Amino acid sequence: MGKDRKLYLVVPCYNEQEVLPETSRRLREKMTALMEQKRISEESRVLFVDDGSKDNTWGLIYSLCLSSPLFAGLKLSRNRGHQNALLAGLMEAGKRADCVISLDADLQDDVDAIDRFLDENDKGADVVYGVRSSRKKDSAFKRLTAEGFYRFMQAMGVDIVFNHADYRLLSRRALDALAQYKEVNLFLRGIVPLIGFQSATVAYERQERFAGKSKYPLRKMLAFAFDGITSFSVKPIRLICTLGFCIFAVSLLVLIYLLLLKLFGQTVTGWTSLIATVCLFGGLQMLCLGILGEYVGKTYQEVKARPRYIVDQYVQFPDAGASEKADNI
Ligand code: UDP
Ligand code: MG
């Protein structure tokens, strides 16, 4: 492949004005080095996706695009969340690239691992997963919750790569396959392993976010985990069924016991336990209904097949940076 390989880096950005200047500098450095080594084509690009930011993120992306043809920008019409923004970028880049690498705007994903991603791509991998070698830089809480999440997902039967977030390389072929997944509840980490093709993993050290705040507070993380499970696994429903069956069996025994009590004329003493049982079952039924409702809700959304994102504009100037004027904007 080498110098003919058009590589696009896809970087979703939500309110990232603090990190963009440094991120773009580092990515430009990396891409230039790779071009000089003839590992990627001169037409390779860095595509920033603005996920409906409220700060000056789009302004910065736009001026980056004006300053150099290396940069491209994609602006979503509103905030659609990390996964949708990433998908938008991947699909847009897929129209032009031979392979794409997705990474976070805060450079927590070590940029130098890109060389090893390309090595694996040279060896024929269509999918290369970036896997964190350690989580030393994460807070104890983040580490515990994140690793617990991966274990829980695996226990739920979801095929997921341990400690792999969304730092990955996808070939054009893999992107075409990804485009065939039409689901609205996006959980890319679960979909990509379903695609198949030859894959490889590359270990890297996860850095701390160098500026700005995390856009994934606990609330969003929990919602993301819940989405991941209910979008990929029917195990919760099976567990509920098993639980329901066990409770039913126990309640039959309790019923026999209550009948015996009645026979011996001691019904009043059973009142407390009876009420307790009614409450317990009422609660359990509600829980079961809730979980079933979650799946029904998802089916509803999938049936509607709403677009997952709407592109506002795509910019890339072939002659950008050529004139003084453009540099000053
Ligand atoms: N992000 C996004 N849309 C959102 C939330 C986050 O595009 O609604 C982007 C964000 O700009 C960053 C990436 O997703 O590039 C990961 O977010 P962040 O670094 O805040 O998450 P953390 O690393 O703390 O889990
Ligand atoms: Mg981050």
Q: What is the pLDDT of residue 329?
A: 46
Could you tell me if 71 and 318 are in contact, meaning their C-beta atoms sit under 8 angstroms apart? no
185 secondary structure, DSSP code? S
**Which-ligand-closest: CA of 216?**
1
Q: Is the CB of 14 under 6 A from ligand 1?
A: yes
Residues 196-218, mean pLDDT to the nearest whole number = 88
Q: Is the CB of 27 under 6 A from ligand 1?
A: no
What's the gap in Å between 213 CA and the centre of ligand 2? 8
Highest mean pLDDT among 105-119, 185-199, 236-250 belongs to 105-119
Could you tell me if 99 and 57 are in contact, meaning their C-beta atoms sit under 8 angstroms apart? no
17 HSE (CA, 13 A, CB side): 12
Q: Hey, which residues does 216 pair with through a beta bridge? A: none
Residue 192's nearest CA partner among 216, 162, 161 is: 161
Q: Is the CB of 85 under 6 A from ligand 1?
A: yes
Q: What distance lies between CA 89 and its chain's CA centroid?
A: 13
What's the gap in Å between 104 CA and the centre of ligand 2? 6
Mutational pocket test of ligand 1: of 57, 104, 142, 145, the residue with most ligand atoms within 8 Å of the beta carbon: 104
Could you tell me if 126 and 113 are in contact, meaning their C-beta atoms sit under 8 angstroms apart? no
Order of all β-strands in the sheet with 7-13: 199-204, 127-132, 164-171, 99-102, 7-13, 45-50, 71-76, 311-315
Q: Which is higher by pLDDT, 131 or 268?
A: 131
pLDDT higher than threshold 80 for residue 207: yes
pLDDT tens per residue across span 4-39: 899 999 999 999 999 999 999 999 999 999 999 999
Q: What is the phi-psi region of residue 295: left when phi exceeds 0, alpha when psi lies from -120 to 50, beta otherwise?
A: alpha
DSSP 158-169: ----TTEEEEEE
